[in-house]
Amino acid sequence: MTQPAPDTPATTPLRCITGAAIASSLGTALYFLTCNIANTFAAKPLPTVNATAMNLAVAVRTLVVGVATLGTAVFAIAAVGLLALAVQLQFTRQQQP
């Protein structure tokens, strides 16, 4: 037996813009965090002469900066998508009688 789905609130341009504002603020915060992480890694040289340890340290630094950049990009793309959805909803509401 299937149960009826609970009523979901309607998607409105205001809700999309609010979501975009939240996503863009998180994306901006992650951008500044990514810049600080990259600058910290660039300012501190690797203290070892062992080639294997050096390669491993470079790989870890690259992964940390890459994950932070990925988070920034995800929130930025979500913000742009929500803004585009708000514009689309506004135009479709104006066209309906």
In Å, what is the CA distance from 26 to each residue of 21, 76, 97?
Answer: 9, 8, 38
Query: Tens digit of pLDDT for each residue in 14-72?
Result: 999 999 999 999 999 999 999 999 999 999 988 888 899 999 999 999 999 999 999 99
Tell whether the model's pLDDT for residue 93 goes beyond 90. Answer: no
pTM: 0.80
pLDDT at site 55? 93
Closest CA to 78 of 9, 30, 34: 30
Q: Residue 20: how many CB atoms within 10 A of its CB?
A: 19
Asked if 84 and 6 count as a contact pair (C-beta separation under 8 A), the reply is no
Q: Which residue has the tokens 């790989």?
A: 59
4 φ/ψ angles, rounded to the nearest 5 degrees = -65, 145
